[in-house]
Amino acid sequence: GIQVEQSPPDLILQEGANSTLRCNFSDSVNNLQWFHQNPWGQLINLFYIPSGTKQNGRLSATTVATERYSLLYISSSQTTDSGVYFCAVQETSGSRLTFGEGTQLTVNP
Amino acid sequence: GAVVSQHPSWVICKSGTSVKIECRSLDFQATTMFWYRQFPKQSLMLMATSNEGSKATYEQGVEKDKFLINHASLTLSTLTVTSAHPEDSSFYICSAMPRVYEQYFGPGTRLTVT
């Protein structure tokens, strides 16, 4: 099956800093989603981005499907951005999502 | 829109008993729902795909007799953990697709088996 690798596994920032999270995948995909899992476990949809670039406030994402990677940018980070960020992809066959191992982000005040 | 709920949020049960977890799509119909399991500090692992009106499709290594899935309607899927044991303690999360390809997740159910 498809492999999904996220980096870095852990990231510690001071409030106000910017960061870039990366997701590499091993095969063509129909779907790529970025999620934020908050401390209570809820997965929050950030982006549905199988290709191209999207922006939502301080967050933006870019997927280069031909090179099989996606980037999530967080600007002017806030303590509420803390949590785990997951990238998940859906192969061209089937509907199942395959998750990466996540990036644990800690934003200190 | 695209809200998925789960009930209960957390449950504690004794070893050997069964527990039912409900997953509902509140503002859309979902012919397909998914059940995941997550251990502490780990990623989500797909357990099964739940299809309305037909049998669930289980991932390799998931015991279908232990984790019973019923997709009773276009807005409800249930996961029953039968004869629960302490090793079944975990965080169970469901998801559904209001649109092709894009999944939305419920808030999860934390199961503790004593």
Per-residue pLDDT of chain B (114 residues; tens, 9 = 90+): 789 999 999 999 999 999 999 999 999 998 889 999 999 999 999 999 998 888 899 999 999 999 999 998 999 999 999 999 999 999 999 999 887 778 899 999 999 999
Q: Which helix (H) or strand (E) holds A64?
A: strand A59-64
Looking up tokens 């503002």 gives B27
Taking CA A43 as the corner, what is the angle to CA B23 and CA B83, rounded to the nearest 5 degrees?
Answer: 45
Q: Dihedral through CA B37, CA B39, CA B43, CA B47, nearest 10?
A: -20
| Below-70 pLDDT ranges, chain A | none
Number of H helices, E strands in chain A: 0, 11
* CA neighbor of A45 nearest in space, from A86, A1, A94, A78: A86
User: Which residue of A32, A48, A97 is the best one to mutate when testing the B interface, meaning the one whose CB has the most B CBs within 10 A?
Assistant: A97
Judging contacts by C-beta atoms under 8 Å, the chain A residues touching residue B93 are 41, 43
- By C-alpha distance, the chain B residue nearest A31 is B101
Phi first, then psi: what are they for B88, rounded to 5°? Answer: -85, -10
Of B95, B102, B107, nearest to A31 by CB-CB distance is B102
Q: What confidence score (pLDDT) does residue B81 get?
A: 98
Q: What confidence score (pLDDT) does residue B65 get?
A: 95
Beta bridge partners of A36: A44, A85
CB atoms within 10 A of CB B79: 25
Q: What confidence score (pLDDT) does residue A95 get?
A: 76
User: Which residue of A2, A29, A34, A43 is the best one to mutate when testing the B interface, meaning the one whose CB has the most B CBs within 10 A?
Assistant: A43
Beta bridge partners of B36: B46, B93
Phi first, then psi: what are they for A35, rounded to 5°? Answer: -130, 155
* B101: alpha, beta or left? (left if phi > 0; alpha if psi -120 to 50): left
Q: What confidence score (pLDDT) does residue B64 get?
A: 93
Q: Does A25 touch chain B (CB under 8 A)?
A: no
Judging contacts by C-beta atoms under 8 Å, the chain A residues touching residue B45 are 99
